[in-house]
């Protein structure tokens, strides 16, 4: 069974979704560790409330980035994690962790990568750029995480239309709904294969 380590920074809505789907067995996986760089975040509180094993790791706990990276890697390995999910995690992953879990760290992004991705493109900023561009279609992507923002291989995507009278909020809500389904379906598929578990 896939053993998930989830990293989350803020609200934790995707974290909650995955926790619920794992609890109901919709996603055949266990959540073995939840790490947040913000111990006061709703994500951290959500995970703690379920009884999940949680850990706060940030520049406050480890001032040296290399030591922070090592602490994260050690925690994930010690808890037997086989797949890492970034669920609204707003920090770069260190080189030690990236190397050990190469091909086994995934993230969601609210656009059809490579469009509207990269440094500075997150949350509502993405949808503002989509609307300003005049494109007729946007979507969401699940991709592997590398040392560059949103540059890893795309694993799955879902397409979402952009309508003539759309607002940023309309687009955001439509993409969020599609992104949730995409993530759940992708995790179900990943649980069926060893390619991301033992690469």
If one counts every other C-beta atom within 10 angstroms of the C-beta of residue 62, the result is: 15
Q: State whether residue 56 is helix, strand or coil.
A: strand
* CA distance linking residue 84 with residue 55, whole number of Å: 14
* Geometric angle at alpha carbon 129, from 125 and 133, rounded to 5°: 175
| CB 43, CB 87: distance < 8 Å | yes
Q: Which of 109, 127, 143, 198 is catalytic?
A: 109
Residue that has been written with the tokens 């997150």 in this structure: 122
Catalytic: 109?
Answer: yes
Distance CA 108, CA 87 (A): 7
Question: How many other CB atoms are there within 10 angstroms of residue 66's CB atom?
Answer: 11
Tell me the H-state helices in the chain.
13-23, 42-50, 65-78, 95-100, 124-133, 168-191
- Give the residue numbers annotated as catalytic, written as ranges: 109
């Amino acid at each position: 069974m896939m053993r998930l380590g989830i990293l989350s920074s803020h609200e934790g809505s995707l974290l909650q979704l995955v926790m619920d789907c794992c609890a109901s067995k919709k996603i055949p996986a266990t959540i073995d560790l939840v790490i947040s760089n913000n111990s006061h975040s709703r994500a951290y509180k959500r995970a703690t409330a379920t009884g999940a094993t949680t850990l706060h790791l940030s520049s406050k706990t480890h001032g040296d980035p290399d030591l922070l990276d090592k602490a994260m890697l050690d925690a994930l390995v010690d808890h037997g994690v086989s797949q890492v999910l970034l669920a609204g995690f707003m920090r770069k992953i260190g080189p030690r962790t990236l190397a050990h879990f190469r091909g086994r760290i995934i993230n969601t992004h609210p656009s059809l990568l490579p469009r509207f991705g990269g440094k500075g493109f997150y949350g509502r900023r993405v949808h503002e750029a989509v609307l300003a561009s005049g494109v007729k279609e946007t979507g969401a992507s699940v991709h592997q995480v590398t040392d560059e923002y949103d540059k890893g291989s795309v694993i799955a995507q879902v397409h979402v239309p952009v309508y003539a009278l759309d607002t940023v909020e309309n687009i955001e809500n439509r993409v969020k709904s599609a992104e949730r389904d995409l993530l759940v379906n992708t995790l179900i598929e990943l649980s069926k294969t060893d390619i991301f578990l033992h690469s």
